[in-house]
Amino acid sequence: MTALVIAEHDNSDLKNVTGVVLAAAQKLNVDAIDILVAGSDCARCADQAAKYPSIRKVLHADSPAYEHSLCENIALLAADLGKDYSHILAAHTTDGKNFMPRVAALLDVGQISDLIDVLDESSFKRPFYAGNAIATVQSLDTIKVLTVRGTAFDAVALSNSEAVPIEKTDLNYDTGLSSFVKEDLVKQDRPELTAADVIISGGRGMQSGDNFKLLEAVADKLGAAIGASRAAVDAGFVPNDMQVGQTGKVVAPNLYIAVGISGAIQHLAGMKDSKVIVAINKDEDAPIFQVADYGLVADLFDVIPELEQKL
């Protein structure tokens, strides 16, 4: 049995989540793990991947067709290379969610999404119903296509040991069905939400995007990332990539501070695995208090500036 891990990267650096997927792959107890780095001018990422401990080799596919991770092309490549493996794994990020089901369909196998634990080579745990139930599932397929929750395993770190071989593949799939137009990425000077130790999130109670400055001041002092509820994103206070929840990002920091967030199940689905949860809300009956380790019933406009000052 061998596993293929599909790396996530931006053509210049590997994303940390690749190490998380690798950690899940290691729990499979397979004979060998290879990593696929597909992109355009991404040799640097392939070099980085070759530094992961305990892998066999890196497969490097370089073509303009793979530049923006266009799923139609990447899926054909991953299915072609992946047909020789027992397991194909990628992150359950918007990228992995985009191309992996295509890989599974091309190989005529099912997919297990968002797994949080590996029990053996064919059994896994995954949350469903917005995390209100955890299923133990078994794949009956010969090739297991899996996407891994980014907070569920400790990322394998790149080592200083000798690099494994990098095998270049010249498979070039370009369907021409889709083309990249543009990307509006949010510039963040703060830690990435999914990797942050501390997160402070604002909800509808923040009342405006401008008021998020209050949270920024606290975040500066704590080195925290800033998140939001869907209501705050829908109201246009902050961009979509800040949404935490069932349909946003799943986070599990050491400290999660929810400010002006009621605690709907869809929001809890994205943050209830945080180690310590603090809720600040003026409604003492807000459901968020049912999951909070420390609850402060107060007006956020009084206590957030005070908190910032006293940190």
Partner 1 sequence: MKLMVPVKRVIDYNVKVRVKSDHSDVDLANVKMALNPFCEIAVEEALRLKESGAAEEVVVISVGRSVCQEQLRTALAMGADRAILVEADLEPDPLGVAKALMAVHQKEEFDLAFFGKQGIDGDHSQTGQMFAALAGLPQGTFAYKVELIDGRVQVVREIDGGLQTVALSLPAVVTVDLRLNEPRYASLPNIMKAKKKPMEIIPAADLQLNLEPRVKTLRVEPPVERSAGVRVGDVDELLDKLRSEAKVI
- Residues found near ligand FAD in the complex (CB under 6 A): 203-205, 229-232, 243-248, 260-262, 264, 266-267, 270, 281-283, 286, 299-301
- Are 58 and 37 within 8 A, CB to CB? yes
CB of 170 to ligand FAD, least distance (A): 41
Residues 119-148 interacting with partner 1 (rule: CB under 8 A): 123, 127-141
Per partner kind, with CB cut-offs from 5 to 8 A, the member of ligand FAD, partner 1, none near residue 166 is: none
> What number of chain residues touch partner 1 (CB under 8 A)?
89
Which C-beta is closer to ligand FAD: that of 120 or that of 234?
A: 234
Which C-beta is closer to partner 1: that of 54 or that of 247?
A: 247
Per partner kind, with CB cut-offs from 5 to 8 A, the member of ligand FAD, partner 1, none near residue 205 is: ligand FAD
CB of 56 to partner 1, least distance (A): 27
Measured CA to CA, the distance from residue 43 to residue 61 in angstroms comes to: 9
State the DSSP string of 58-111.
EEEEE-GGGTT--HHHHHHHHHHHHTTSSEEEEESSHHHHHHHHHHHHHTT--E
Q: Work out which of 37, 74, 255, 261 binds partner 1, going by CB under 8 A.
A: 255
Strand 57-62's sheet: what is its strand order?
A: 111-115, 144-148, 87-91, 2-6, 32-39, 57-62, 166-169
Per partner kind, with CB cut-offs from 5 to 8 A, the member of partner 1, ligand FAD, none near residue 178 is: partner 1
Per partner kind, with CB cut-offs from 5 to 8 A, the member of partner 1, ligand FAD, none near residue 128 is: partner 1
Per partner kind, with CB cut-offs from 5 to 8 A, the member of ligand FAD, partner 1, none near residue 23 is: none
- Are 263 and 279 within 8 A, CB to CB? yes
**254 sits near partner 1 (criterion: CB under 8 A):** yes
CB of 223 to partner 1, least distance (A): 10
Partner residues linked to 257 by β-bridges: 200, 278
Residues 179-198 interacting with partner 1 (rule: CB under 8 A): 179-186, 194, 198
Token pair recorded at residue 155: 């990322």
**235 sits near partner 1 (criterion: CB under 8 A):** no
Residues 262-301 interacting with partner 1 (rule: CB under 8 A): 265-266, 272, 275-278, 289-298
CB of 2 to partner 1, least distance (A): 20
The conformational region for residue 245 under phi > 0 = left, psi -120 to 50 = alpha, else beta, is left
String marking each residue 195-214 x if it binds partner 1 according to CB under 8 A: ---x----------------
CB of 211 to ligand FAD, least distance (A): 9
Per partner kind, with CB cut-offs from 5 to 8 A, the member of ligand FAD, partner 1, none near residue 98 is: partner 1
CB atoms within 10 A of CB 191: 17
- Expressed in angstroms, the distance from the first to the final Cα of the chain is 52
Partner residues linked to 91 by β-bridges: 148
Measured CA to CA, the distance from residue 294 to residue 290 in angstroms comes to: 10
Partner residues linked to 115 by β-bridges: 148
**154 sits near partner 1 (criterion: CB under 8 A):** no
Specify the DSSP element, H or E, that contains 44: helix 43-49
Q: Work out which of 64, 191, 209, 239 binds partner 1, going by CB under 8 A.
A: 239
Three-state secondary-structure class, residue 1? coil
CB atoms within 10 A of CB 91: 26
